[in-house]
Amino acid sequence: MTFAKLRLVTVGIVAALGLSACGSLNEQSPAAGISQMVKARLAARTGTPPPAAPVLTREAADANPGAFMLLSRAGSGTQASLVTAGVNGTKVTWMSADQVSVTLENGIIVATRGFVQDMMAADISQVVNALVTSGGTAQRRVEYLDGLDQISTELLQCRIASGGFENVEALGKMVETERFDEVCSSDIIQYTNIYWINDDGVITKSRQLVSPGVGYVDLIRP
Amino acid sequence: MACSIYRTILGNSACSFALMLASTAVAQDGPSYTVFGTPGLIEMPTAESAEASDIAATFAYSPSSGYRTSFTYQLTPKFSGSFRYAVFNMYGYDVANPQFETFDRSFDLKYRFNEEGTYIPAIAVGLRDFLGTGRFGSEYIVASKSVGSNLIVTGGLGWGRMGTKNGFANPLGAVSDYFDTRPVYEDRTQQGEGGNGGTISVKQFFRGDAAVFGGLEYQISPKLGVKAEYSSIAYLEEPLTPAVDIASPLNFGVTYRPRPNMELNTGYLYGSDFYFGITTMLNPEKRPVLSGLDRAPAPLKVRAQDALAATTWDRNNEPALRAALAQLLEVEGITLDGLEVSDRQARVRYSNERYRSEAQAIGRVARMMSQVMPASVEIFTLEPMLRGVPVSATTLRRSDLEQLENTVGAADAMFERARFDAAGPDAGLIDSPAQSDKWQWGIGPYIALVLFDASGPIKADVGLQFDGRYELNKNLVISGSITQSALGKRPGGAFFDNPNDYVNVRTDGAYFGRDGTPNLQNLTLAYYGRVTPDIYSRVTLGYLEWMYGGVSAEVLWKPVGSRLALGAEVNYTAMRNRDQGFKFDEYDYQVATGSLSAYYDFGKGYQAQMDVGRYLAGDWGATFALDREFQNGWRVGGYFTLTDMPFDQFGEGSFDKGIRVTIPYDYFIGSPSRKDVSTTLQSLSRDGGARLMVDGRLYETVRGGQVADLTDTWGRFWR
């Protein structure tokens, strides 16, 4: 091959590769990352649904009581099914197939992993006490991982109050619950978590804040 | 920006949330930018500062003042520095004659004394174009005060070029008559006329006539603002300074911020010209992807209560245990290199190929160990390897991991309870069979900026790059890189003449790799080792870089917890042929270079380095460097090199100096990556103080796994 041809081929290959790069040495290339990000962005813009995850059925949930948890971005229809990946004392870590995890203590989020802004840990013991006594005030201490890889701690004052009885749907089944609203605020943020608690005192459904950067997620125990 | 990124990844709820958080901020995010790329009015400065750590890149154009590209870095909340590169023709010569185009580099500094009070304005002092040829050389004191929430009023006093419109006798003359007259800047002459620029014009500072300037900035909406100024730069014809026929000292501008990190500027200058500017801002502290897009780790596997009593385990399971751990670590992109397990302790050696933060890798390895280690094993010792050399040993108690997981304060508590030592001996470790491929390769496009070749001051080169890497063993690696430019054969040659008595060790770079054939960028055999627990060694042999081949050897003393490191390097190299093939016969230039180096980590993100030794042209001298390092991997720093090569031999710029920036990939792409991209803005790459560019010097290799760097990113331990 003459060098003139080689040059033409090079031009062609550069054009064809576009932003992408290949080979084991290029696995972490920004080009690959950027193309992923652009794809995600386009998908969001055109409303193309993300690839469908295996759907959890009522039958599967009934056959394995307590084995599953449904996670979705608040307000979005796409649900991920989570299964237990680890238990440490009263804290249970639930993980999805695409490796997003949520750690719950008595049904309340105390940590997340794999979100764009993770809750690294939370002390929610006072919130649990307030829920047990059907309302009251609580202090919440929450840690996030910031853009400089440092842990930032937020101290929040929260007020928990009953919102009355509501029937909620959990994977095709209607469940009678009492709704509790937890209004938390600090100097810079304010948000409201909602818990729907069934007769057995289990949080059947909840809407909880992961972090300011992520927003709320919905959790359902089918 | 934050809003749009949140929207794609997290849905709209997060967007509104982010807006709510931002509601405490003022009408606009930070000050607007001048055509000089600094916070201010249109041409004149204000006392405003950008947010700490902001980096702003500005491109501005107007017919009279040409093209300017500027970078301003807000080093501290009060102190900022700017680097500017401009192409212009403002001498009143025939504009059509490109002979009179000027390529001008300049530096600014600005310090703000105070925060604005209820009655007291913010006050700042600054130097514009204080280094180099000083064509815009000015000093100023400026005060800015906001009136209400949308209006900022600025007034100031300028010297130098800023003292030329309606100038009056210097008020500092009251202090001393030293200030009454401003001496001519002797160095402001072109190459060949006796001056080289690049030296500081201290003799001129705050001397000669002063003049008053001022202006108004009004923010109509969070995105849209207007400004007007009275400029004190007259652009008179002076020797080798830009001259403009000014019709009016009043300049007017409009600013528009389509996004929080982008500003568009336009307006009317000098009563005759329209100008245009665009500024983009980036803050290393504000990672667009917040904590990153890493997938969740496997949670810790907590031992059952009844298993805690165990004090031994069945050693027959050792091979299965090793295989299981290797498999688990592979999930994390980590290679198991060696394992030693006793009844109560486990020591693992591994290479992390995925995570920028070795602290995060330690956290992940520890959790994977908890999945498979027998219950009796209480002590985990983790030894990360970098380029095949173990650089530290972090010892954790398994019961601490179990107790602290997902609790508030877990990162700090774990750090306090961890022990950091030098990596242990090789003895005792059972080698794990290599998991990753010994042979790795990559093909991808590349883009490079070519500065000052014969065809112009700046040009982009694009093409394909082939990389290959073969591991003979953990310590011995062959690697190489070949590029093929899509531009084909191009004429070589430098933009400037380089008349000096030395070999053109770098300035002839403009002749290299121009014949359109594949270019061998490097091809080396590299050995890394550990001489004692605290002393590391490297030998690299082959085509070390694009212009030189030979041998490079280095030793480094770097105890695991020490802020100080000392190193020595010797190289014997020959200059390669211009076709970047295998031969060395074109120049027949061999040189022995080397340096003694000291590195010091001041903490709080400041890192200093000093090298004393011999450079490529055979000149002797020293390089001083200071870098600001952010915990998330960003670095912004500067360096200068002084050698025994006389300034007039060095040529324009007088001595080598530059600004360098390193950006980790994961800052932008979010997913974990060990890679980063570095760039150096040199005032000019010349032959004095030129250093061999050998890949993988020891200090940068070793430190990543040692205490200081682990501390920086320890927040990722539990991620």
pLDDT tens sequence across B357-391 = 999 999 999 999 999 999 999 999 999 999 999 99
CATH class of A58-220: mainly beta
- DSSP-assigned beta bridge partners for residue B422: none
Distance CA A51, CA A42 (A): 14
pLDDT tens digits for range B419-446: 999 999 999 999 876 656 788 888 988 8
| pLDDT computed for residue B684 by the predictor | 66
The verdict on A25 touching B (C-beta cutoff 8 Å) is yes
Q: Between B100 and A46, where is the model more confident?
A: B100
Q: What residues in B contact A37, CB-CB < 8 Å?
A: 8, 669-670
Single-letter amino acid code for the residue at B409: G
B38 has pLDDT over 90 = yes
Single-letter amino acid code for the residue at B480: G
CB contact under 8 A, B632 and A148: yes
Q: What residues in B contact A150, CB-CB < 8 Å?
A: 631, 715
**pLDDT band (50, 70, 90) for residue B453:** low
| Residue B460 counted as domain residue | no
Q: What residues in A contact B468, CB-CB < 8 Å?
A: 25
The verdict on B296 touching A (C-beta cutoff 8 Å) is yes
Q: What residues in B contact A14, CB-CB < 8 Å?
A: 445, 462-464, 486
**pLDDT band (50, 70, 90) for residue B88:** confident
The verdict on A40 touching B (C-beta cutoff 8 Å) is yes
Rg of chain B taking only CA atoms, in angstroms = 29
Domain limit, last residue, from B282, B297, B327: B282
The verdict on B398 touching A (C-beta cutoff 8 Å) is no
Here the CATH number for the domain that contains residue B49 is 2.40.160.40
| pLDDT computed for residue B87 by the predictor | 82
CA angle B356, B361, B367 (to 5 degrees): 155
pLDDT tens digits for range A98-148: 899 999 999 999 999 999 999 999 999 999 999 999 899 999 999 999 999
Distance CA B30, CA B396 (A): 45
Q: Which of residues 112-171 of A touch B (CB under 8 A)?
A: 112-118, 120-123, 141-151, 153
B120 has pLDDT over 50 = yes
Distance CA B468, CA B481 (A): 6
CB contact under 8 A, A149 and B301: no
Helices and strands of chain A, counted as H and E runs: 4, 12
| pLDDT computed for residue A36 by the predictor | 52
Distance from CA of A32 to the nearest CA of B (A): 9
DSSP A134-184: TSEEEEEEEEEE-TTS-EEEEEEEEEEEEEEEEEEEETTEEEEEEEEEEEE
| Residue B482 counted as domain residue | no
Residues B701 and B571 in one domain: yes
The verdict on A212 touching B (C-beta cutoff 8 Å) is yes
Residues B426 and B318 in one domain: yes
CB B551 within 8 A of CB B571: yes
Percent of chain B clearing pLDDT 70 (strictly above): 89
pLDDT tens digits for range B523-547: 999 999 999 999 999 999 999 999 9
Residues B546 and B662 in one domain: yes
Q: What residues in A contact B405, CB-CB < 8 Å?
A: 88, 91
Residues B222 and B274 in one domain: yes
Longest dimension (CA), chain A: 83
Tokens representing B325 are 């751990």
CB contact under 8 A, B441 and A14: no
- Mean pLDDT, chain B, rounded, equals 87
| pLDDT computed for residue B8 by the predictor | 27
**Domain residues for B16?**
1-28
Residues B9 and B65 in one domain: no
CB contact under 8 A, A116 and B291: yes
| pLDDT computed for residue B15 by the predictor | 33
pLDDT tens digits for range B593-606: 999 999 999 988 99
Residues B584 and B700 in one domain: yes
Distance CA A63, CA A65 (A): 6
Distance from CA of A25 to the nearest CA of B (A): 5
Which whole number is the average pLDDT over B493-520? 84
- Please state the ipTM of this predicted complex: 0.85
Nearest CA in chain A to B440: A24
CA distances B259 to A41, B10, B271, Å, are 17, 19, 30
Distance from CA of A186 to the nearest CA of B (A): 11
User: Tokens 């960028």 belong to which residue?
Assistant: B521
pLDDT tens digits for range A141-154: 999 999 999 999 99
**pLDDT band (50, 70, 90) for residue A31:** low
Tokens representing B659 are 């600004």
Size of interface A-B (CB pairs under 8 A): 241
CB B313 within 8 A of CB B330: no
- Residue B359, burial from CB neighbour count under 10 angstroms (0-12, 13-18, 19+): buried
CB B540 within 8 A of CB B694: yes
Domain limit, last residue, from B384, B400, B435: B435
Distance CA A22, CA B38 (A): 40
Q: Which of residues 182-201 of A touch B (CB under 8 A)?
A: 188-191
The verdict on B411 touching A (C-beta cutoff 8 Å) is yes
CB contact under 8 A, A120 and B411: yes
B99 has pLDDT over 60 = no
| Minimal Cβ distance to A33: which of B295, B488, B670 | B670
| pLDDT computed for residue B394 by the predictor | 98
| pLDDT computed for residue B193 by the predictor | 45
- For A73-77, the CB contacts below 8 A with 24+ separation are A73/A215, A73/A216, A73/A217, A73/A218, A73/B10, A73/B11, A73/B13, A74/A207, A74/A215, A74/A216, A74/A217, A74/A218, A74/B11, A74/B13, A75/A216, A75/A218, A75/B11, A75/B12, A75/B13, A76/B11
CB B365 within 8 A of CB B512: no
| pLDDT computed for residue B184 by the predictor | 73
Residues B5 and B57 in one domain: no
Which whole number is the average pLDDT over B45-72? 93
Residues B224 and B352 in one domain: no
| pLDDT computed for residue B542 by the predictor | 97
| Residue B292 counted as domain residue | no
| pLDDT computed for residue B212 by the predictor | 96
- Reduced to 3 states (helix: H, G, I; strand: E, B; else coil), residue B535 is strand
Distance from CA of B580 to the nearest CA of A (A): 15
Residues 6+ positions from B715 with CB-CB distance below 8 Å: A120, A145, A146, A149, A150, A151, B359, B411, B631
| Minimal Cβ distance to B21: which of A7, A111, A189 | A189
Domain ranges of chain A: 3-46, 58-220
- Reduced to 3 states (helix: H, G, I; strand: E, B; else coil), residue B647 is helix
Distance from CA of A114 to the nearest CA of B (A): 4
**pLDDT band (50, 70, 90) for residue B4:** very low
Handedness of CA A51, A54, A57, A61 (dihedral sign): negative
Confidence (pTM): 0.87
| Residue B587 counted as domain residue | yes
| Minimal Cβ distance to A145: which of B8, B402, B719 | B719
Domain limit, last residue, from B248, B282, B316: B282
Which whole number is the average pLDDT over A38-61? 56
Here the CATH number for the domain that contains residue B534 is 2.40.160
Q: Between B245 and B573, where is the model more confident?
A: B573
A48 has pLDDT over 90 = no
Residues B45 and B86 in one domain: yes
| Residue B59 counted as domain residue | yes
Here the CATH number for the domain that contains residue B379 is 3.30.300
Closest CA to B10 of A144, A100, A34, A158: A100
The verdict on B293 touching A (C-beta cutoff 8 Å) is yes
**pLDDT band (50, 70, 90) for residue A57:** confident
Number of structural domains found in chain B: 4
| Residue B452 counted as domain residue | no
- Reduced to 3 states (helix: H, G, I; strand: E, B; else coil), residue A6 is helix
Residues B211 and B262 in one domain: yes
CB B299 within 8 A of CB A86: yes
The verdict on A7 touching B (C-beta cutoff 8 Å) is yes
Closest CA to B269 of B245, B292, B236: B245
Which DSSP symbol is given to A74?
Answer: T
A199 has pLDDT over 70 = yes
The verdict on B99 touching A (C-beta cutoff 8 Å) is no
Residues B238 and B319 in one domain: no
CA distances A4 to B450, B487, B491, Å, are 21, 10, 15
pLDDT tens digits for range B259-287: 989 999 999 999 999 999 999 999 999 99
| pLDDT computed for residue B692 by the predictor | 96
Q: What residues in B contact A125, CB-CB < 8 Å?
A: none
CA B275 vs. chain centroid, Å, equals 30
Which whole number is the average pLDDT over B659-686? 83
First to last CA, chain B: 25
Spatial strand order in the sheet of A79-88: A108-113, A101-105, A91-96, A79-88, A68-73, A215-220, A203-211, A190-197, A173-185, A151-170, A136-145, A119-123
Distance from CA of B409 to the nearest CA of A (A): 8
B129 has pLDDT over 80 = yes
CB contact under 8 A, A188 and B21: yes
CB contact under 8 A, B13 and A73: yes
Residues B24 and B46 in one domain: no
| Residue B479 counted as domain residue | no
pLDDT tens digits for range B185-222: 665 444 444 456 666 677 888 999 999 999 999 999 99
Q: What residues in B contact A28, CB-CB < 8 Å?
A: 354, 665, 671-675
Q: What residues in A contact B444, CB-CB < 8 Å?
A: 17, 20-23, 26, 29, 31
Compute φ and ψ for B692, nearest 5 degrees: -65, 135
